[in-house]
Amino acid sequence: MKAHLEKLRVEAEECELISKLATNATKNALFAKLAAHHRTLADEVERATIESK
């Protein structure tokens, strides 16, 4: 679970970076949305990990 959590957090950071670097407004919005989605998933995995202990 920790590996999945870390992967989601890294993907969120990468999407955020791409969003900031995008010159196209559509791509900027898409990658910002993907970053937020990955963060939400990471938060849910973290919560599930904590609750399973």
Query: What pLDDT tens digit does each residue of the chain (53 aa) get?
Result: 889 999 999 999 999 999 999 999 999 999 999 999 999 999 999 999 999 87
State the residue for tokens 């949305």: 33
Question: Structure pTM?
Answer: 0.90
d(CA 42, CA 28): 21
Contact predicate 30/53, CB 8 Å: no
The token duo for 53 is: 């202990």
* Termini Cα distance of the chain: 12
